Amino acid sequence: MAKILVVEDEKQIRRVIELHLTKAGHEIRKCANGQEGIEQITAEHFDLVITDLQMPKINGLEFLEKLRALGVSVPSIVMTAFGSVETAVEAMKLGAADYLSKPLQLTELSLRVDSILSRNQIEEENKQLKKELAGKFRMGGIVGKSPVVRKLVERLKPLANDGDISVLLIGESGTGKELAAKAIHYNSPRSEKRFIAVNCGALPENLLESELFGYEKGAFTDAKKTKIGIFEAANGGSLFLDEIGSMPLNMQVKLLRALEEREIRRVGGTKGIGVDVRFIAASNQDLESLVKEGRFRQDLFYRLAVATVNLPPLRKREGDIRLLTLHFLEKFNSEKKRAVKIKAEVFSLLENHRWTGNIRELENLVELLVVTAADNEISISTLPESFLHGNKLTWESLDEIEVTGQLRAAMENFERKFISTCLGDNEGNVSKTAKEIGISRSSLHSKIKELKISRQ
């Protein structure tokens, strides 16, 4: 099971421990003092060390100190004479995981050994899982070989490495802002800590505040007990502020203060709590024009946009549509245990599409195609009707849109028309519409709010 080193000067006790733990299935090595212990432990790997404290030459405490100085990290249990708790405390300070009083109780010994070994195992497994996750979000997790995507990855790398610099991700809906944020986090020195995403557009101001900063017991009627907020939960890690452009102005002030002071106050609380997080913000609206319109605070903009990264829309990623289609095909085939293939003729149609919903739209389409493919083959006839004829907006209905004046206003008019038409076609069903036009539900919700679209 585990390999254990026993360091004990009394031969009798060494022998008893060895017999007992060998019977439990462990592999035991023994030595009579700290000096020998150091030699053993630098020569081979151990899962656990059990050491006496009173020993000739190098005693137990010196032994632990030495291990620490050598950078050997192995969990240890110290054995101490009955009553000398102070030395045990000293040993725990030096990193011992537990202590046992002498005379030894063998059942006690087994219990402590098992508990430390299983704690160890869970920690190992967690590390492994995190590594796998990191692998998934390695920069290579951003699929694409077009020059714009290569440039994007090169831009993200140093920002990830730094670990502290605030990054603002700007890109149309579905261009992979969240994916890029995760790539930054999981490739940063903070990768072992949490990545927490919060959608700043989805919550009303008061909820957003208690969500971000937490609240003290009694801060408001429903605050039955103190709750920590996202800032505190993400401490040491990264906080992804999604749709930052939709954050209410009042909240922007509070966020800026937290950013500048690196400290937060829970709702209803008076004491400042220090937090250390990296901020990654994302927006699908051009924040600078929001600043000009007075809808976004300039000081907050500068604070968040220390480094700005633009995510290119899919239509500018030359050659990536095919690659991404195959990537998603592989993904959904494996998720759905299918073996669907795609006919070459389909690609030219895909490459001519406008992809307003970008990579998400493509991903959703591929999922649909895998599900609906007859005879495990995607051909032109598998593509949805609406896809073949473009979107359901007709030229006649486009005529009604006011396209004079400023570009931004014209675009908003178009978006309003487009979204309300699609919503109408889906009887106001937001999820369905979002999927169809290739944006996230939350983006659609904020668009509906922002553009004052009626859901009827």
Ligand X SMILES: Nc1ncnc2c1ncn2[C@@H]1O[C@H](COP(=O)(O)OP(=O)(O)OP(=O)(O)O)[C@@H](O)[C@H]1O
Other beta carbons within 10 angstroms of residue 72's beta carbon come to 15
Task: Report yes or no: 369 and 331 within 8 Å, Cβ to Cβ.
Answer: no
The yes or no reply on residue 443 touching ligand X (CB under 6 A) is yes
Q: 158 CB contacts (<8 Å, ≥6 apart)?
A: none
Q: Which of 363, 417, 433, 448 binds ligand X (CB under 6 A)?
A: 363
Name residues contacting ligand X, limited to 234-293 (CB under 6 A).
284
Taking the C-alpha atoms of residue 411 and residue 433, their distance in angstroms, rounded to an integer, is 19
Where in 173-192 is the site for ligand X (CB under 6 A)?
173-179
Q: Which range of residues in 2-10, 75-83, 128-136, 176-184 is near Mg ion by CB under 5 A?
A: 176-184
Is the C-alpha dihedral spanning 252, 168, 174, 234 positive or negative? negative
**Spatial distance between the Cα atoms of 25 and 1, rounded to a whole number of angstroms:** 6
Q: Between 98 and 178, name the residue whose CB sits nearer to Mg ion.
A: 178
144 near ligand X, judged by CB under 6 A: yes
Judged by CB under 6 A, the stretch of 26-34, 138-146, 346-354, 386-394 that binds ligand X is 138-146
User: How many chain residues bind Mg ion (CB under 5 A)?
Assistant: 1
Phi, psi of 21 (to 5 degrees): -75, -30
Q: Count Cα neighbours of 81 within 13 Å in the Cβ-side half-sphere.
A: 5
Amino acid at 138: R
Bridge-based pairing of strands 3-7 and 273-274 is unpaired
Neighbour-count burial of 387, counting CB atoms closer than 10 A to its CB (0-12 exposed, 13-18 middle, 19+ buried)? middle
143 binds, among Mg ion, ligand X, none (CB under 5 to 8 A by kind): ligand X
359 binds, among ligand X, Mg ion, none (CB under 5 to 8 A by kind): ligand X
For position 445 contacting ligand X by CB under 6 A, the verdict is no
Q: Which of 60, 171, 214, 229 binds ligand X (CB under 6 A)?
A: 171
Residue 201 makes contact with ligand X by CB under 6 A = no
* 113 contacts ligand X (rule: CB under 6 A): no
Best CA proximity match to 358, nearest among 168, 149, 196: 149
142 sits near ligand X (criterion: CB under 6 A): yes
Piece of the chain touching ligand X by CB under 6 A; list 94-102, 110-118, 169-177, 415-423: 169-177
Residues 376-415 binding ligand X (CB under 6 A) are none
CB neighbour list of residue 343: distance below 8 Å, 6 or more residues apart? 377, 378, 379, 380
**Interface with ligand X (CB under 6 A), residue from 7, 21, 96, 439:** 439
- Residues of this chain that interact with Mg ion (CB under 5 A) are 178
- Residues of this chain that interact with ligand X (CB under 6 A) are 142-144, 171, 173-179, 284, 327, 359-360, 363, 439-440, 443
